Structure 1
Amino acid sequence: MVKEILLACVGKPSAGKSSFLNAVSDATAKVGNYPFTTIKPNYGVSYVPVECPCKKYGKESQCKPRYGRCVEGTRFVPIQMMDVAGLVPGASSGLGLGNIFLDDLRHANALVHVVDVSGTTDQNGKETAGYDPINDINWLRLEIHSWITNNLLKRWTSIVRRHVATKNNIVDTLQTQFSGYGSVASVVQKAMDKSGIKTPLETWDEETVKKVVDHFMDVRFPTIVALNKIDMPDSDKNITKIMRKYDQNKLVLTSALAENFLRKVRKQNYIKYIDGTDIVETKEDLPDSDLKPMDDKLKNRVEKVQDLVLFRYGSTGVQEVLGKAIELLGVTPVYPVKNVTTFGSPNSSKPGAFRDCILVWPGTTVREFAKILHAEIDKYYLYAETVGNIRLSEEAVICHSNNVICYKTAMAITSKISLGNDASSSNTPDNNNNSKKGKK
């Protein structure tokens, strides 16, 4: 069983979550400068950039992705995205649309926290001027923390009583409580390892419970912060303060509106724009191309986006957010091929190299990946090999050094192996099933 990666755009109302979703996906989420534009979650398919082996092995011209695309050795692999109802102070107590937001959140593998760094919306998402967004990052985390902690503390006495009566270990007891947040035992184990807590569960006080929840959140809800609206007048001073206070490795400067604008103009064939870069070319730059000439008004708008965003920051930042989120999850792109010389697809009816790319969780073994690809590959498995005809152990963990894999079976697989139905859309092992240690 497999499950697609799902990233959730979260944050206060009017921070730009829906605009961000539209900027990185095929969604057409409703946007507006008033609170609670989003009531029900909006979903879309995004394309996360990963390194494609076609460039390393000189197969760029033959690289034919079944899903997504490949641009000069950068593979854009599909993943699922959603944005959920905006969070307001007190959401963990049910204020605003808090209960709706938090219930939606449990389906996500990682969070993209969209913060309005311009200071033009207050903590409730209402239009204002001069608001200081420096505390918005911790505020969202505290609401999620309170949601989980309060749910635990309300029934803590019965949890302890049942734990003592059943003589379960701590991980099993906590997993029973955390399963409602999309957790598995390995996530709880990792959180306990990070916490360093060795005392019996029946001796824990409220502060110990809060500490456990803190580490559980780090593992279960890894978060990238998108500092959005960087092209607004007051953004610079707010960015400087936030960069000094928080971990810069998890902060990305973004302009979702600029990305949406560039994508729209590209679709209308006025510009050639490469996602994740500052490269924008027009008819003036490429006179022999089929690009349409722009009038002065459109030309000025494009130049303004270049000056305020692309030339200052190198890109609109939205692709970098996706890349960092996938990096936090630790997933590995895997390329199943028919053989390790031509790199053709296991589905020989469609030619082309590296047609399929599947993102798998940390700790996935060669044999487990065979089962993900197709039940008959697992059933008739003989061995697997990677580039250079190097045989791989069944228990070898898939990593970037062995992620081009060819499977050999004991008999010809007569049924067509159509990865598109279950694996090639960046699917990963099901988070809801018990998995081996090391997986999420």
Structure 2
Amino acid sequence: MASSFVIAFVGKPSAGKSSFLNAITDASAKVGNFPFTTIEPNQGIAYYPLDCPCKRFGLSDRCKPRHGRCQQGKRFVPVRMMDVAGLVPGASEGRGLGNRFLDDLRHADVLVHVVDASGTTDEQGKETKGYDPIDDVRWLRDEIEEWVAGNVLAKWANSVRRHRATKSAAADTLHGLVAGYGARRELVQRALDRLASSGSSSVDIGEWDEKDVRRFVGVFLDLRFPTVVALNKIDMPDADKNIAAIMRRYKSVPGSNSFLVDGVSEQNIVLSSALAECFLRKLAKQGYIRYETGDDDFVTHEEDGSLKSIDDKMGRRLENIRDLVLFRYGSTGVQETVCRAVDLLGFVPVFPVKNLANFGASSGDASSSSGAAFQDCVLVRPGTTVREFAKKLHSVALDKGYAGAETVGNIQLGEDDVIVADKNNIIKFFVSG
């Protein structure tokens, strides 16, 4: 079971989004150095690593995930990835493929903004030299803000009139304006609370002007679309100076409670080389090297005679990747980007089982492997309750026939108990009848 949330790769054309998707998934997205290579959103499955309880209970030899894999207690859980076609400045006004691309973002839970740190593509995604990508993060955020703010402001006057007439709660009125972006009321309330704590806007939305609305949209987007920035092509000339400038712009101020700049914090900037990852994965698949995504080095025929020999050209390219990427940065950054995106949302791994004595499968279907443990792992949002998870797992049998739940040690769980990692996230459900 892949997770129900989506990580969307965004950015200008030719920044490396399609290469990134190919590097981290098994998808075969088109790759080209011209605008609008990607017309429809490409989707794929990547894997998020976490500690599997099979190791804690000494059951690694019996851990057989239905989806993903488990290697000596390290679980690789599938997550959905989407590559949204490249945006260009003016997209919110219809430039390029404009609103069509922005509409795709509504299906995303977290964004990965792939930025060409090498300066070899301009703001339109066309080949160039010496382009300064310092503003690439800002203009993409501006386009998204303009898109959402424009839609909200178009309905603002009528919404405020209804708000005053019905004396609705501010969160209810605002939720009605942004629900189309996949936002829950709770998130809208959080945005309002953050604005109130800053004292930057009136608590009475009936008194808001356009600046107040835009300020709310900015905070709302920080919460609705948390963003990881992947500074890509780090092994290219000029990348170093561009990276340094971008990091300075988004450097966090210790003790500051100010809002994010362009929706970005330096903690969520990752240095990456998607093409290096693609090359390493390809050679590993062909048997020339031993390498796993996220490794800080690879093994060749010289260290392992069972691997194929490499020629001089291949060897030079591998050494360049080793020197300019792996030894310098510790990895290609591709796996770290996915991990950072999932961690931003704080998702909790849940292991539904049928039997708490042997941690057998959560369902008795014919596909369940005899004796297999911890076959299922589902990532859920923080704050998810036991009953909410039951409905997510099986909306008919477990929700309508729900009769209770318990966790390790035969500890009974309440319907409203919040699921917490390493506390009550191994769950057996009971159904009536």
* TM-score, normalization by structure 1: 0.88
Q: Is the 8 A contact 1:120 1:130 kept in 2?
A: yes
The whole-number CA distance in structure 1 between the counterparts of 2:413 and 2:141 is: 42
The whole-number CA distance in structure 1 between the counterparts of 2:285 and 2:83 is: 24
- Displacement, 1:363? 1.2
- Say if 1:315 and 1:366 are closer, same or farther in 2 by CA, change over 3 A: same
Q: Is the 8 A contact 2:202 2:208 kept in 1?
A: no
Deviations 1:65-106 (A, max 9, x none): 110112333222112111112111111111122211111111
1:162 is matched with 162
Superposed counterparts of 1:141-220, under 5 Å? 141-196=141-196, 197-220=201-224
- Displacement, 1:274? 1.6
Superposed counterparts of 1:36-51, under 5 Å? 36-51=36-51
- Displacement, 1:378? 4.0
The whole-number CA distance in structure 1 between the counterparts of 2:208 and 2:202 is: 10
Are 2:306 and 1:285 aligned?
no
The whole-number CA distance in structure 2 between the counterparts of 1:3 and 1:269 is: 31
Superposed counterparts of 1:240-279, under 5 Å? 240-246=244-250, 247-279=265-297
Give the match's secondary structure for 1:47: strand
Q: Which residue, 356, 366, 388 being the options, matches 2:376?
A: 356
Give the match's secondary structure for 1:273: coil
* TM-score, normalization by structure 2: 0.89
- Say if 1:155 and 1:393 are closer, same or farther in 2 by CA, change over 3 A: closer
2:262 is matched with none
Q: Which residue, 322, 325, 342 being the options, matches 2:338?
A: 322
| Paired amino acid for 2:288 | Y
The whole-number CA distance in structure 2 between the counterparts of 1:398 and 1:372 is: 13
| Paired amino acid for 1:309 | V
| Paired amino acid for 2:212 | T
Q: Is the 8 A contact 1:335 1:403 kept in 2?
A: no
Give the match's secondary structure for 2:283: helix
Report 1 or 2 for greater relative contact order, CA contacts < 8 Å, sequence distance ≥ 6. 1
- Displacement, 1:338? 2.8
| Paired amino acid for 2:275 | L
Q: Is the 8 A contact 2:145 2:217 kept in 1?
A: yes
In structure 1, the gaps of 5 or more residues are 413-440
1:342 is matched with 358
Q: Is the 8 A contact 1:54 1:63 kept in 2?
A: yes
The whole-number CA distance in structure 1 between the counterparts of 2:269 and 2:144 is: 19
1:118 is matched with 118
Give the match's secondary structure for 2:56: coil
- Displacement, 1:303? 2.2
The whole-number CA distance in structure 1 between the counterparts of 2:74 and 2:310 is: 29
Q: Which residue, 231, 234, 239 being the options, matches 1:230?
A: 234
2:393 is matched with 373
Deviations 1:149-183 (A, max 9, x none): 12222332222222223332211111111122122
| Paired amino acid for 1:236 | D
1:385 is matched with 406
The whole-number CA distance in structure 2 between the counterparts of 1:403 and 1:234 is: 49
Question: What percentage of residue pairs aligned between the two structures are identical?
Answer: 58
The whole-number CA distance in structure 2 between the counterparts of 1:32 and 1:269 is: 27
- Displacement, 1:205? 0.9
Deviates more, 1:203-212 or 1:382-391: 382-391
In structure 2, the gaps of 5 or more residues are 251-264
| Paired amino acid for 2:340 | K
2:420 is matched with 399
The whole-number CA distance in structure 1 between the counterparts of 2:83 and 2:427 is: 37
The whole-number CA distance in structure 2 between the counterparts of 1:303 and 1:71 is: 28
The whole-number CA distance in structure 2 between the counterparts of 1:120 and 1:59 is: 50
Q: Is the 8 A contact 1:370 1:407 kept in 2?
A: no
The whole-number CA distance in structure 2 between the counterparts of 1:85 and 1:338 is: 42
Give the match's secondary structure for 1:407: strand
- Say if 1:408 and 1:215 are closer, same or farther in 2 by CA, change over 3 A: closer
Are 2:97 and 1:97 aligned?
yes
